[in-house]
Amino acid sequence: MVNLQSIEIFNDTEDPITTTSEDLIVYLNIIYDYDDVSVINASSFNFNTAVATSCPDNVYIYQSEFTDLNITADQEINGIAAGQSLNSIMKFAYYNIDNPLDISQFYNTTDSEENTLSRAPDSIVLFFDQTIQSDSPFNLTVAIQNSNQETFTAVSNTYIIE
Distance CA 34, CA 62 (A): 9
Domain count, the chain: 1
pLDDT score at 97? 82
Distance separating alpha carbons of residues 134 and 71, to the nearest angstrom: 16
In terms of residue numbers, what domain contains 83? 2-161
What are the pLDDT tens digits along the chain (162 aa)? 567 778 888 765 678 888 998 899 899 888 877 665 554 455 554 544 454 455 555 555 556 778 889 999 999 999 999 999 999 999 999 877 888 989 888 766 544 444 444 456 778 899 999 999 888 899 999 998 888 888 999 999 899 998
Instruction: For 56-75, write each residue's pLDDT tens digit.
Output: 555 555 567 788 899 999 99
- CATH code, domain carrying 69: 2.60.40
Give bridge partners of residue 92 from the DSSP assignment.
101, 126
SS (H, E, C) the chain: CEEEEEEEEECCCCCCEEECCCCCEEEEEEEEEECCCCCCCCCCCCCCCCCCCCCCCCCCCECCCEEEEEEEECCCECCECCCCCCHHHEEEECCCCCCCEECHHHHCHHHCCCCCCCCCCCEEEEEECCCCCCCCCECEEEEEEECCCCEEEEECCCEEEC
CA 69 to chain centre: 8
- Report pLDDT for 118: 46
